[in-house]
Structure 1
Amino acid sequence: MIKNYFKIALRNLIRHKSFSSLNIAGLAVGMASSILILLWIRNEKSYDRFHEHTNEIYRITAVASDDFKAAVNPAGMPAELKAKIPAIKNAVRLSHPSTNAFEYQDKKFEEKRGFFVDSTFFDVFSFPLISGNQATALKRPDALLITENFAKKYFGNTDPIGKTLKINNEKLLTITAVLANVPTNSHLQFDYLMPMAAIAKTHNDLIQNTWKNFNFYSYIQLNRDFEANEANLLALESQMNALYKSHETNQKITFHLQPLRDIHLHSHLQVELSDNGNIQYVNILSLVAVFILLVACINFMNLATARSGRRAKEVGLRKVVGAARSQLAGQFLGESVLISCLSLFIAITLVWLLLPAFNYLAGKELAIRLFDGKLVFILIGIALITGFIAGSYPALFLSGFQPIKVLKGQMKLGGKGDLLFRNTLVVLQFVVSIVLLIGTAVVYRQLNYIKNMNLGYEKSNLLYVPMKGDIWNRQTAYKSELEQNPLTANFTITNDLPTNLTSGTINVQWEGKDPNAQVVIPSLSVSERFFEVFQMKIISGRGFSKDFRGDSSNYVINEKLAKMMGLTAATAVGKPLAMWDKRGTVIGVVKDFNFKPIQQAIEPIILEPNRWGGVVAVRTQPGKTEATIKALEKINTRLNPGFPFSYSFLDQDLANLYRGEQQLGSLFNLFAILATFISCLGLYGLSAYMAEQRFKEIGVRKVLGASVLSVVRLLSIRFMRLIFIAILIAVPLSWYAIHSWLNDFAYHINLSWVVFVIGSIAALVIALLTISYESIKAAIANPVDSLRSE
């Protein structure tokens, strides 16, 4: 019997090629979309789960205030936690990412992805070594551990173990191990590691074993027998906080344990090590995947019922010769599962072809591995579930035909219940499509708003060069060279860039400050021309100047800090202010500017004179950017020959801050188009069904003088009503979803009715174009063909 069903299914597919193609295409595109999203979600949820002790590893985070939650903590904390808390098996510290210049023979590169780490690094994390001894690789202070790609870059296929690299044109480091390339689904991304012992005698925090400064990332590994439930973790955090208070009684800092596996999707702290993902985006795209697959199933149902009249006699004959309804339902379900399986093979092919483009949009390195047992099981499950869902209604509908009425020609298809159900399906399809279309428009507008937003300074034509190597000792000569060249003369020096400031201090005092208040206030050390180069507006007082010797102890603050001090911009000038116990005077108030991503509201900031160096920012003249870069390279090469020249653009750094939103926008564009395409297939199926049902009626109307336009209007009006119903449902749904997303931004576009109108009109036009084909085809058909048997 199954063999017979299979033959019939194949014959039906071959006999009705256009119907089969539409059905398979709709399901294949829907499955391909869902598989792409599934691969993306699996990657997002797989971060840091490859470590052997993943479930036992936690990162220590610090909370100084509601606005300042950081991923860093003091250098002296981890060792004492391990010594005094029995539940902690191991601890490891990482420095901030370290940028260094490495040289081997004639190869010289600047490497930005490195860390100083404790010798317990490999006891906690499971980064495999290709060569070298894991137990001893970090023991010697001049050790250098490199990844496979790093090794090939400098040594080709030669074994690098024991070879030396010169670092920063100063000392030699010996390569003690080669690691496998770090997986892309790790929040720790590095190309090389160096032992913490290398800076133990030069880094003040390590020398003093301080509990005051927060400059290290610390991870602990709990004992395997520790039950990590909420109550036990809270008790452990209480022990940590008690230890901290025994060292620092004045600062109100609390520490928390963050599971390693939660960092990528659930952590958005200050001073993060990498650009983390967002669980909200995972949830959004999960829903999109489900809805697109649902739309594909609806499309199948509509196309199946559109040709139900052609199979009515088949059902009647089968029932007459003894077929039970369950057997017929099984046959139709089997056909839909077969179509679903064929669609799966096509979908996998589509995914394989589209993955490079999808990876480009999503910023990933995804791959579909058919030898992955879990993935294969999921894909087969998707095919079977899709087949059963898509075929359930057609199976019940077709198997319910009464043989007597069918064979007598008295069977009336498309009753009220059937019509209501299919209309509901079409409405659901277009609700999904309209929500995605409106969402795409809003994401695009928000990204455009971010791109063009006035940050309080002019971000274009600003490039910067980090000061490194010999430049630190030749700053006077460096400044002189920059000033003498017209291309580079418009420069300033700052210790950091106002793009994503992640550090701050609570050691700020002013008259009338609440002694119990603990506000973390960021700061910038800037040279005299900073406000001019960045084109910031001083709204009261003045900026720093070489003409005033006393400026070395003075400050410029922003409007937000003036307001926090209970002052206006005008009254703040001349007031005393102390930072890090260094007393000075407020000489100016700068107009508020964004120095963090616009998801965060503008915070108070203090600007002080730069005395150490850091980053040289140059505003280039229009059309002379390339010439300016060459001039900077020439100056840097002359004064700093041991270091490769490197530069970046400020606006590119700002764009990188919103990479997640840009990727979401690109994915929304893609899946909105695919969902609308599948919905149109379903609408096409229903319009074909309606044209088939009213074929003779149309013939009669044409004989009586009906025009093509009136026939098209007759067939289209019902669908237009369905689209209007979909719009009425989709608009409030999309408003709610979009409003929730925009609330993550402190600064965002205002939701305008225009977006909803444009999205709705786009859906109407697309639907009308889809319906028009079958409507016009039916309207221009020769009425003789439909009435000849009457």
Structure 2
Amino acid sequence: MFKNYFKIALRNIFRHKAYSAINIIGLSIGMAASIFILLWVSNEKSYDRFHEKASKIYRITADAGNDFKAAVSPAPMPPFLQQTIPAITNTVRLNDRLTTVLQSGDKKFEEKNGFFVDSSFFQVFSFPVVSGNVAQALTRPDAILLSEALAVKYFGNENAVGKVLRLNNVSDVYVSAVFKNVPANSHLQFDYLRPMLAIAASHQDLKEEKWDNFNFYGYIQLNDNFKATDASLATLTKQINDIYKSKVDDTNFKINFQLQPLTDIHLYSKLQIDLPGHGNGQYVNIFFGVAIFILIVACINFMNLATARSARRAKEVGLRKVVGAGRRQLVLQFLGESVMIAFFSLMIAILLVWLALPGFNSLAGKELAINLFDGKLITFLIGIALFTGLVAGSYPALYLSGFKPVRVLKGSIKSVGANLVLRNGLVITQFVLSIVLLVGTIVVYRQLNYIKTMNLGFDKSNLVYMPMKGEIWNKQDAYKTLLKTNPLTADYAITNDVPTNLSSGTINVRWEGKEPGKQVVIPTLQVDEGFFDVFQMQMLSGRGFSKEFKGDTSSFVINEKMAGLMGLNAATAVGKTITLWDVPGTVIGVVKDFNFKPVQTRIEPLIMNLNTWGGIAVVRIQPGKTEATLKALNDIHASLNPAFPFTYNFLDQDLDNQYKGEQRVGSLFNLFAILAIFISCLGLYGLSAYMTEQRSKEIGVRKVLGASVFNVVYLLSQKFTKLIIIAIIIAIPLSWYMISNWLNGFAYRVEIGWAVFVLASVAAVFIAWLTVSYESIKAAIANPVKSIKAE
């Protein structure tokens, strides 16, 4: 029986090549797109789940109010919690990412991806160590642990353990262990580690056990018996907050600590002072929905074409029933055919995924792979094929198997109009989904372009910056003199940080009229006299810092938001007193608000004081002189700091990198929207071709009676146009709701005007007309005599 079904299915596939090709191509592209999306979604959800104790590890985060939520905690907190709370079996701290110059022989490189960590690091996290004693690797202050890639970079194929590296051209460190390269699906990305002992005697937070400074990433590991219910976690959080309050003297310092699950950090961490590279849980949900949309659109194509062509197989159904076939057997036959087509499509889809995966990885910034020997993956792919085949073939199977044999053999089944309501509903559903994706594509493009081009309050172009390091720290006067005397580098400023994502903030700020007990975390920035000119910022009132005023060391420049927080405006704020870190000073100027954090964050109050210690040199390059300026900067660096390699970054590139994740998501969204629309058009084309074929005699008669080509095309297109208009009416409010939710994640966003929906609607109608017009025009210009004579 099954052999017979298989033969019939193959015969039908090869007999109706065009119909089969449309179905298989549509399903193949739909499946390939869904596989790509599901691989991406699976990768995003896999972050940090490879750790053996992943479900027991939490990060301590801080909520200081005023929408200031940070990923950092005080240095002494994790070890003290372990000593005090029995449920906590282990803890580990990480200091902010390191930038270090390492040298082995003539190999010298600046490495920017390392951490200082506690000796318990490998007890909490399951990063495999390939050589060296993991228990002792972090117990010596002069140790360093390298990734496999870094070990090969400095020592080739030799065993790196026990080898010596020169650190910052000052001291030697020995390689105590080599660990496997960190997986891409880890929120912690590092190439080397140093023991926390190396800074224990010099770092103020560690040396003095400061509970009011927040400079460390703290993780706790709960014991195996701890049941992580909402109630138990709330109790544990209360214990942590009570301990903190007992350690801080300032009763006005109000802060609440929370526990963030390790496996939530990548997708659900919208915290300040966090590590870079996080994903977005909203995007994962959106793309999972898009994958389902695309599969539904592909399935609708199959169902539409199968039900439209039902009359072609009506007599076959009638004859089978006459000779004894039951409805169950017919349902199995038609479902078998659809599942077979789905599996053909799956094989083509796998081939498409394999061929296009490198390009997709480049677009998505991932390292995804499809392993056909992976049992879980094979089961998953087979599941997709079965699901698609059964869903796509279910209605046609039930519909075709329900034909009455007597009516079929008498010719009572109409070839056109049968099950018209269903087919119209399916076409409308397809285009509702396509229009929603089309609106999404337009708005995503506009929002990302708005982010890229919006006015940040300063001119970000042609700004290059170099961190002061090595011997330059002790030669700052000479460094500034060389910068000033060279015309190419004379337009420079010194700041403690570039205003792209400021992470420093304090609540130790007072001013006249401040409400008692009011706690606000206020970012700070230390800048020199040239800062406002180099960044081309607008001073609304007062002045910037100047060498002509010796008292500027105790003066402040604030932004508009800070003036507003004080209950003042730009004009009235100048001359007022602010006490920062218990040191009073006078406001000498108010600068126009500028973005110093990513645009997902609204502009916050900012206090700037005079930089007297150094940090980062920023130079504005003259147009067309980038190469010459970089050479001049390199020469200056080489003359003062020959032991350190010259490194630099462009400010505008840093800003672009902040939104690389959104740009990638936007590109993926555009790609899948185009594929969904293409699949919809493919089905519409197949349906229009079939409908045109069914009405060929009617068209011939109309032409004989004088109908023009336009009349015929209009006749064949008007039905589909009505369906598209209904789809537009449904899609507009749906797309508005969905895209509004996405835009709510941005502090600065484009407005969704009516033009977006008009453009998407016109595009949908135009695409539908273009799709239908080919077959319509071909039928309209055909010789009517042939169509009328044809049987």
2:464–2:651 Cα contact (<8 Å) kept: yes
- Give the match for residue 589 of structure 1: 590
Q: Secondary structure at the match of 1:522?
A: strand
- Give the match for residue 196 of structure 1: 196
CA distance in 2, matches of 1:308, 1:781: 26
Partner amino acid for 1:666?
S
- Give the match for residue 766 of structure 1: 767
- Give the match for residue 42 of structure 1: 42
- Give the match for residue 265 of structure 1: 267
- Give the match for residue 228 of structure 1: 228
Q: How does 1:399-478 map to 2 (within 5 A)?
A: 399-415=401-417, 418-478=419-479
1:386 aligns with 2:410: no
1:130 aligns with 2:130: yes
Partner amino acid for 1:350?
L
- Give the match for residue 167 of structure 1: 167
- Give the match for residue 70 of structure 1: 70
1:405–1:411 Cα contact (<8 Å) kept: yes
Shift of 1:377: 1.2
- Give the match for residue 10 of structure 1: 10
CA distance in 2, matches of 1:141, 1:722: 73
Partner amino acid for 2:175?
I
CA distance in 1, matches of 2:249, 2:353: 58
- Give the match for residue 52 of structure 1: 52
CA distance in 2, matches of 1:637, 1:401: 87
Tell me which of 374, 388, 404 is aligned to 1:372: 374
Measured against aligned partners, the alpha-carbon deviations of 1:297-330 in whole angstroms (never above 9, x if no partner) come to 0011122233323222222222222222221121
Q: Secondary structure at the match of 1:264?
A: coil
- Give the match for residue 482 of structure 1: 483
Partner amino acid for 1:297?
C
CA distance in 2, matches of 1:635, 1:608: 27
2:441–2:666 Cα contact (<8 Å) kept: yes
1:114–1:190 Cα contact (<8 Å) kept: yes
Tell me which of 275, 278, 283 is aligned to 2:285: 283
1:71–1:272 Cα contact (<8 Å) kept: yes
Tell me which of 340, 343, 346 is aligned to 1:341: 343
Partner amino acid for 1:265?
L
Percent identical residues: 67
Q: How does 1:706-745 map to 2 (within 5 A)?
A: 706-745=707-746
Partner amino acid for 1:402?
K
Change (3 A) 1:26 1:789: closer
Measured against aligned partners, the alpha-carbon deviations of 1:103-132 in whole angstroms (never above 9, x if no partner) come to 111111000000000000011000001111
Q: How does 1:513-592 map to 2 (within 5 A)?
A: 513-592=514-593
2:302–2:393 Cα contact (<8 Å) kept: yes
CA distance in 2, matches of 1:466, 1:286: 42
Shift of 1:249: 3.6
CA distance in 1, matches of 2:497, 2:271: 19
Partner amino acid for 2:195?
P
Partner amino acid for 1:285?
F
- Give the match for residue 357 of structure 2: 355
Shift of 1:788: 2.8
Q: How does 1:604-615 map to 2 (within 5 A)?
A: 604-615=605-616
Measured against aligned partners, the alpha-carbon deviations of 1:496-518 in whole angstroms (never above 9, x if no partner) come to 01111122000001111112100
2:311–2:414 Cα contact (<8 Å) kept: no
Q: How does 1:618-657 map to 2 (within 5 A)?
A: 618-657=619-658
CA distance in 2, matches of 1:343, 1:131: 47
Change (3 A) 1:239 1:508: same
2:434–2:680 Cα contact (<8 Å) kept: yes
CA distance in 1, matches of 2:38, 2:733: 28
CA distance in 2, matches of 1:404, 1:246: 89
CA distance in 2, matches of 1:774, 1:355: 35
1:92–1:218 Cα contact (<8 Å) kept: yes
- Give the match for residue 255 of structure 1: 257
Q: Secondary structure at the match of 2:587?
A: strand
CA distance in 2, matches of 1:369, 1:612: 54
Q: TM-score, normalised by structure 1?
A: 0.98
2:66–2:521 Cα contact (<8 Å) kept: no
> Which stretch of structure 1 is more off in the superposition, 361-370 or 483-492?
361-370
Partner amino acid for 2:178?
V
CA distance in 2, matches of 1:346, 1:340: 10
> Which stretch of structure 1 is more off in the superposition, 703-712 or 161-170?
703-712
CA distance in 2, matches of 1:529, 1:354: 50
Shift of 1:413: 3.0
> Which stretch of structure 1 is more off in the superposition, 705-714 or 589-598?
705-714
Change (3 A) 1:789 1:83: closer
Measured against aligned partners, the alpha-carbon deviations of 1:202-242 in whole angstroms (never above 9, x if no partner) come to 11111111111111111000000011111111111111111
CA distance in 1, matches of 2:417, 2:699: 19
Measured against aligned partners, the alpha-carbon deviations of 1:71-91 in whole angstroms (never above 9, x if no partner) come to 111111111100010000001
- Give the match for residue 26 of structure 2: 26
> Which stretch of structure 1 is more off in the superposition, 508-517 or 367-376?
367-376
- Give the match for residue 305 of structure 2: 303
Measured against aligned partners, the alpha-carbon deviations of 1:17-42 in whole angstroms (never above 9, x if no partner) come to 22111111000000000000000000
Unaligned runs of 5+ in 1: none
> Which stretch of structure 1 is more off in the superposition, 87-96 or 207-216?
207-216
CA distance in 1, matches of 2:72, 2:519: 18
Shift of 1:410: 3.0
Shift of 1:789: 6.4
1:74–1:214 Cα contact (<8 Å) kept: yes
Partner amino acid for 2:45?
K
Shift of 1:759: 1.1
Change (3 A) 1:549 1:789: closer
- Give the match for residue 695 of structure 1: 696
CA distance in 1, matches of 2:299, 2:790: 36
1:306–1:685 Cα contact (<8 Å) kept: no
Change (3 A) 1:171 1:781: same
Partner amino acid for 1:729?
I
Shift of 1:414: 4.0
RMSD: 1.2
Q: Secondary structure at the match of 2:522?
A: coil
CA distance in 2, matches of 1:482, 1:686: 71
Shift of 1:401: 2.4
Q: Secondary structure at the match of 1:762?
A: helix
Measured against aligned partners, the alpha-carbon deviations of 1:347-396 in whole angstroms (never above 9, x if no partner) come to 11111111111111111111111222222111111100100010112112
- Give the match for residue 682 of structure 1: 683
Q: Secondary structure at the match of 1:329?
A: helix
